[in-house]
């Protein structure tokens, strides 16, 4: 089920404008020019136009595609799967141009200037890649590294499900099974805020196009809207009866697809 929710400039929702069953999705991304919507479904990636007509089916993954994201310059689409394979597709011809290998990859994202690429892992790590060399330049831990708890519950709670860069490149946000939204400074890579409000694990996070708001969705269907600078929880609302798996803003910031 895919829903379009209209947002006011204050970040408040005023209802769903579209309710259309297209296909079961693990991840959704909207291209910056608004021409394409990419949907990860099972082991393939569906490319849709702005009217939600299927244009292309991308194949090559052998396990479920867990994350899809367009590069900010509109030249590439990246898709990551549960086995740790990250594929890069040229939007000109939809060919697979590059492949990276990491841990199990539930989430991937480009920085706004495309100089950095980040991938989240089930073990609670966020890997930062330099897109010029494709080398790993930094590894972050979503949870407290000082913890000595090696239980299965602790491992489960450390898992990251979603990450996002702010449009101005100043922040990286992460969300996972601990129900906390963490905000990182990209200057120092220190954690600058930890937003608490979800009662279930967080499956998706996103910045609004103007960078003023962070939106997070959890497996109990609750969506939280936060002020980026203050960390204030502006509004909570339920867009689904069950879990909210993926969130993406339209380029003009007027719609949130989830």
pLDDT digits (tens, 9 = 90+) for 92-151: 999 999 999 887 777 889 999 999 999 987 778 899 999 999 999 999 987 665 555 555
Enter the tokens of residue 104.
Answer: 């199990």
Q: Which of 111-125, 181-195, 232-246 has the highest mean pLDDT?
A: 181-195
Mention every residue, 6+ apart, whose C-beta is less than 8 A from residue 72: 32, 110, 111, 112, 113, 114
Domains of the chain in start order, with CATH, are 2-257 (2.130.10.10)
Task: Report the C-alpha gap between 54 and 107 in whole angstroms.
Answer: 23
The pLDDT > 70 percentage for the chain reads: 80
Q: What are phi and psi of 79, to 5 degrees?
A: -140, 135
Task: Give the residue carrying structure tokens 């292309």.
Answer: 56
Q: Which of 10-19, 68-77, 105-114, 228-237 has the highest mean pLDDT?
A: 68-77
Name which residue leads in pLDDT, 243 or 60.
60
pLDDT score at 143: 67
pLDDT score at 11: 42
What is the arithmetic mean of pLDDT over 83-98?
94
What is the arithmetic mean of pLDDT over 47-54?
87
pLDDT score at 245: 67
Mention every residue, 6+ apart, whose C-beta is less than 8 A from residue 211: 166, 167, 168, 228
pLDDT score at 158: 65
pLDDT score at 5: 46
pLDDT digits (tens, 9 = 90+) for 142-187: 766 555 555 555 555 667 888 999 999 999 999 988 889 999 999 9
CA distances from 74 to 77, 114, 165 (A): 8, 10, 16
What is the arithmetic mean of pLDDT over 215-241?
84
pTM: 0.76
pLDDT score at 87: 96
Which of 182, 176, 164, 183 has its CA nearest to residue 200?
176
What is the arithmetic mean of pLDDT over 229-253?
76
Quick check: 15 and 21 in contact, CB under 8 A? no
Average pLDDT over the chain, rounded to whole? Answer: 81
């Amino acid at each position: 089920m895919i829903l379009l929710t209209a947002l006011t400039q204050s970040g408040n929702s005023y209802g769903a404008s579209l309710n259309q069953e297209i296909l079961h999705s693990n991840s959704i991304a909207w291209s910056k020019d608004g021409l394409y919507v990419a949907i990860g479904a099972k082991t393939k990636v569906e490319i849709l136009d702005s009217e939600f007509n299927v244009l292309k089916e991308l194949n090559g993954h052998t396990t479920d595609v867990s994350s899809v994201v367009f590069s900010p310059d509109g030249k590439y689409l990246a898709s990551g799967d549960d086995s740790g394979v990250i594929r890069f597709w040229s939007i000109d011809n939809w060919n697979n141009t590059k492949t990276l290998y990491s841990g199990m990859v539930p989430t991937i994202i480009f920085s706004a200037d495309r100089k950095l690429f980040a991938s989240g892992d089930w073990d609670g790590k966020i890997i930062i890649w330099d897109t010029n060399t494709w080398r790993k330049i930094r590894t972050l831990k979503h949870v407290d590294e000082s913890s000595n708890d090696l239980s299965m519950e602790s491992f489960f709670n450390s898992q990251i499900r979603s990450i996002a860069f702010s449009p101005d490149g100043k922040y990286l946000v992460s969300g996972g099974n601990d129900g906390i939204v963490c905000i990182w400074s990209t200057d120092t890579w220190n954690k600058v805020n930890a937003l608490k409000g979800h009662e279930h694990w967080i499956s998706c996070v996103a910045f609004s196009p103007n960078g003023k708001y962070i939106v997070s969705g959890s497996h109990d269907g609750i969506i939280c809207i936060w002020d980026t600078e203050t960390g204030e929880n502006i509004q909570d609302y339920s867009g689904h009866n069950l879990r909210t798996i993926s969130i993406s803003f339209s380029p003009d910031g007027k719609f949130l697809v989830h």
